Structure 1
């Protein structure tokens, strides 16, 4: 009986797990806050916010799934895809949602977005190591 050796990255997996658990709460806060602040935004920022949130939601689901599969099954292409999606797509969108003053984020939104950005930065570092 040989036990298979696994080389999946445990810290990355833990971070992905907590991100998956946190994501619905982040989503709920954003969906609750959109009607409250949407009418206060300029037309351009209404469009940019809606487009950014749709993109972040779709990309985040795909990114977390690919990260899980790539890490657990030790598949290099999936880990590389996870890392590239994180760096090239998710980081600019998440940083825009965190740092843009034009979308008039509340304190709760800034806190939730900061946590998402921390998850993202940690996953980028751990994904590079993996």
Structure 2
């Protein structure tokens, strides 16, 4: 009984010819030898260890496939979070710096320190995931940007809060002096 194969006949014969030249002990019917069907007393030339490996490989493949999907999914989720947070982080950084808004700049600093830096370091150093040389290069440059932004924004936030606190104190002290009853009497003299 001939086993149905999805390969076309000419490809099957070519592969049988190549395997016949590589492996001199090839005893398959495809090699052009005896074209009669196997008899019940015929020695089977199939290799049991190879068949076992193929069987176990076919059982293992779905688990391998699912694990690869999960790894890819984790990487995609990491990149998605990084992208969304980066858009928000850059917006808050621009607003906080250009309009001298302390809460926005503080949020920028926290997002940089708490989310972006750990995520990019994970993507840069995770040995369980294949990291291409291009990824190393762009992640390293991105890490340098994040590190410099952390340091500079910390000092900018420190100076900005000190300046705004001084302005608030001066404005508040001017308002307090205007409200003093003795001040109006002194000015009248």
Question: What TM-score, normalized by structure 2, do the two folds share?
Answer: 0.46
What's the counterpart of residue 75 of structure 1?
Answer: 101
Report what 2:148 is aligned to.
122
List per-residue Cα deviations over 1:2-43 (Å, max 9, x = no partner). Answer: xxxxxxxxxxxxxxxxxxxxxxxxxxxxxxxxxxxxx8x833
Q: CA deviation at 1:44?
A: 3.2
Written as runs of structure 1 = structure 2, the 5 A alignment for 1:7-86 is 42-86=68-112
Secondary structure of the corresponding residue to residue 42 of structure 1: helix
Give ranges in structure 1 of 5+ residues lacking alignment: 1-38
How many pairs were matched up?
Answer: 91
Paired residue secondary structure (1:91): helix
1:111 aligns with 2:137: yes
Structure 1 runs of 4+ aligned residues shifted over 6 Å read none
Pair member with larger Rg: 2
Whole-angstrom distance in 1 between the partners of 2:89 and 2:69? 30
Deviation, structure 1 residue 101 = 1.4
SS in 2 for 1:101: coil
- Secondary structure of the residue aligned to 1:74 is coil
Match of 2:30 in 1: none
RMSD: 1.4
Bigger RCO (CA 8 Å, 6+ sep): 1
TM-score (norm 1): 0.66
